[in-house]
Chain A
Amino acid sequence: MKNFWGAAEFKVKDLNISTLNSLKQYNLSAVSHKEDKAAEGEAADEVISFRAPIKYKKKILKLLKNHEVSARDKFGAINVFRFFIKKPVLVLIMLGLVFVASLFNNLIFNIKIYGASGDREQEVFEYIEALGVKKFGRREKLSNTELIAIENNFAWVAHATSEVRGHTLIINVYEAENNVKPISFDIYSAENAVISHINVFSGTVQVKVGDVVQRGDLLVRGVYLDKLGAEVPIRAEADIWGIVSFSKSKTFKYDAEIESIKESLARELITENFLETPTFKTFIKIENDKKILEVVATETRLV
């Protein structure tokens, strides 16, 4: 941009052509003749005016030190900066206005509910207000938790969605055909295991990694707490893995039998208990003068 940082305007009396030629290295612009106001009865002085980038101002003044010259700064980025430096209150007011504008830009001014009318619309309004969703709140869609809360709180709502258009929050509710209320759905352990990994998508987890659980123990409750602290039923969904072990043992007389017994016990364990190939450990015990081979198989599996 031409003279972005600002320009200086010079007016020089009796500037000769050779001096003007020596000034062309400073990227002159708007070079023109002007007549200076003269006293009555006297001839007007010949003045040449021109502009140059403000960065050359000092050099030009030095070159014109033997001339009668006046220099004036023209509007530019540096002048704007100097202007605001001198007026801190104005800067603070402007920053405040920008802050207020950005604040208002992030607010919801209106809430509309589509798909419900009359009392039902009012009920939904009151419920979302209780959840903390109000006019002049943050400009964002309802969270999945809030949408599920609406679905669960009203038997006649089968599904709810939300969107933001401009500064209006729109909540779409779709009525259920049979008014079927959601039921709680818990997750229980299918095996005796040591919990190794938990990833819960919905519901309230009841165990932690390292816990020893028995078959039938409750792992995830099919409820969640809404913003009002009430338990809302939900279908629990989770990936939970645990370390599961099974063992089998058999007596033997001769050491030569060990390998074949080990193989047959492992095969039985895999067939009866395991989804994937487990890891095996073998132990030899002697009880009542009888040699016993025990095979323990372990895998990490979904329980």
Chain B
Amino acid sequence: MGAFFILQSENKSATVGGVKLLLDFSRESISVKVKNGEVRVLGQGLVIERFDEDEMKIVGKIENIETNMNRGAGAK
């Protein structure tokens, strides 16, 4: 399992590292479970450009990225 990170390129793509599970997938929202919480990408026409063991790259018109991390996650 790779390290957790989020890499956003303007509002066109976002790469999330350390993805454990895909929780929800629609054209407007993609949620994934990462090591210490969840990441939710909101937008329009969202497509998973790459989905493998470590990373997920999402393309489309990205409007917001929400994170819900467990307490103490950032301290590690």
- Listed in ascending order, the chain A residues whose CB lies under 8 Å from chain B are 17, 20-21, 23-25, 27-33, 48, 50
- With known contacts A17-B22, A20-B22, A21-B22, A28–B47 Cβ distance under 8 A: no
Stretch at the interface among B23-31, B35-43, B64-72: B23-31
Which A residues are CB-close (under 8 A) to B63? none
Roughly how many angstroms separate A27 CA and B23 CA in the complex, as a whole number? 18
Roughly how many angstroms separate A24 CA and B50 CA in the complex, as a whole number? 9
Q: How many residues of B contact A (CB 8 A)?
A: 14
Nearest to B30 among chain A residues (CB) is A31
Q: Is the CB of A32 within 8 A of B26?
A: no
Which B residues are CB-close (under 8 A) to A50? 48, 51
Q: Is the interface of B mostly helix, strand, loop or mixed?
A: strand
Closest-CB distance, A29 to chain B (whole angstroms): 5
Q: Is the CB of B47 within 8 A of A31?
A: yes
Q: Is the CB of A28 within 8 A of B50?
A: yes
- Listed in ascending order, the chain B residues whose CB lies under 8 Å from chain A are 21-27, 47-53
- With known contacts A31-B48, A32-B47, A33-B27, A25–B53 Cβ distance under 8 A: yes
Which B residues are CB-close (under 8 A) to A29? 48-51
Nearest to A15 among chain B residues (CB) is B25
Which A residues are CB-close (under 8 A) to B51? 20, 23-24, 27-29, 31, 50
Nearest to B21 among chain A residues (CB) is A21
Closest-CB distance, B26 to chain A (whole angstroms): 7
Closest-CB distance, B63 to chain A (whole angstroms): 17
Q: List 15 A-B contacts (CB under 8 A).
A: A17-B23, A17-B25, A20-B22, A20-B51, A21-B22, A25-B53, A28-B48, A30-B48, A30-B49, A31-B49, A31-B51, A33-B26, A48-B25, A50-B48, A50-B51
Q: Is the CB of A30 within 8 A of B47?
A: yes
Which A residues are CB-close (under 8 A) to B53? 24-25
